[in-house]
């Protein structure tokens, strides 16, 4: 979706403000919120793309004004209710009013140890790669209303295939319950001027990680 989360190249957000000696969490609730979100992912309540989509679908004014873990908390509430893991009435009451949904595996300490390692998103190759290193490609001018990982700033722009990364779970499908639908993933390199025009920094090049359905052959 063309939401405010897709920030690459936007103006007006000001300076980057690094914090010296930043703590891992700024409040206890942030740490609980992170762990709860990871826990629900670990029990298979939703996949990473449904989770990201849940953040992106927050209203723009909420997205831009809530803190990072504040958004995670809102997403958690929303998905827990939407997917039937708890009722809004139970969250409001702060206690369970009914038995839980049947799940495959509880998030306990052994499950936690497994969760610390990232999952694998690589999948068996089902077809030969359509593009090879050095091919000129154009990122398609697409505007799906649902989750996508093709940033707006790259759409319609021509770049070069720099690397093949194998077949991966396709977020656009996984986010809408349409299965993993694995697709070839490429690193596509763009010149700064192709993305930002003639006044762009001439020393700048930017790459994106682009799935096959995002790309088409660039006509010279």
Partner 1 sequence: MAHDHDEEHHGHGSELSEMQLRVRALETVLAEKGYIDPAALDAMIEAYETRIGPHIGARVVAKAWADPAFKRALLDDATGAVHGLGLINRVGDHLIAVENSATLHNMIVCTLCSCYPWEVLGLPPVWYKSAPYRSRAVNDPRGVLADFGLSLPADTQIRVWDSTAETRFIVVPMRPAGSEGWSEEKLAPLVTRDCMIGTGLPKDPRGIA
Q: Give me the residues paired with residue 188 across strands.
A: 161, 208
Q: 130 and 159 in contact (C-beta within 8 Å)?
A: no
Q: Which is nearer to partner 1, 150 or 160 (CB)?
A: 150
Enumerate the β-bridge partners of residue 22. Answer: none
Helix (H) or strand (E) holding 53: helix 48-56
Burial class (CB within 10 angstroms; exposed 0-12, middle 13-18, buried 19+) of 206: buried
Query: 7 vs 133, which CB is nearer to partner 1?
Result: 7
Which residue's CB is nearer to partner 1, number 92 or number 219? 92
Are 207 and 160 a contacting pair, CB within 8 Å? no
- The distance of closest approach from Cβ of residue 192 to partner 1 in the complex, given in angstroms and rounded to an integer, is 8
Q: How far apart are CA 173 and CA 186, in angstroms?
A: 17
Residue 31 or residue 132: which is nearer to partner 1 going by CB? 31
CB of 34 to partner 1, least distance (A): 7
In angstroms, the CA 40 to CA 106 distance is 9
Residue 101 Cβ vs partner 1, minimum distance, rounded to whole Å: 7
Residues pairing with 185 in the sheet: 211
| Least separation in angstroms between CB 170 and partner 1 | 10
12: left (phi over 0), alpha (psi -120 to 50) or beta: left
- Whole-number minimum distance, CB 136 to partner 1, in Å? 19
Nearer CB in complex with partner 1: 70/216: 70
């Amino acid at each position: 979706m063309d939401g405010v989360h897709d920030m690459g190249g936007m103006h007006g957000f000001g300076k980057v403000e690094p914090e010296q000696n930043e703590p891992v969490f700024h409040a206890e609730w942030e740490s609980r919120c992170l762990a709860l979100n990871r826990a629900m992912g670990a029990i298979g309540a939703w996949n990473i793309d449904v989770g990201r989509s849940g953040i992106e679908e927050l209203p723009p004014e909420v997205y831009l004004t809530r803190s990072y873990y504040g958004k995670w908390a809102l997403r958690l509430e929303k998905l827990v209710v939407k997917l039937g893991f708890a009722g809004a009435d139970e969250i409001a009451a702060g206690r369970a009013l009914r038995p839980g949904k049947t799940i495959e595996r509880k998030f306990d300490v052994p499950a936690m140890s497994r969760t610390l390692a990232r999952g694998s998103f690589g999948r068996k190759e089902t077809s030969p790669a359509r593009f090879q290193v050095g091919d000129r490609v154009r990122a398609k001018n697409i505007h799906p209303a649902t989750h996508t990982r093709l940033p707006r700033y790259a759409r319609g722009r021509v770049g070069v295939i720099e690397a093949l990364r194998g077949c991966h779970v396709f977020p656009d499908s996984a986010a809408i319950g349409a299965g993993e639908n694995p697709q070839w993933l490429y690193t596509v390199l763009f010149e700064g001027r192709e993305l930002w025009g003639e006044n762009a920094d001439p020393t700048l090049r930017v790459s994106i990680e682009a799935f096959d359905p995002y790309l088409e052959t660039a006509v010279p």
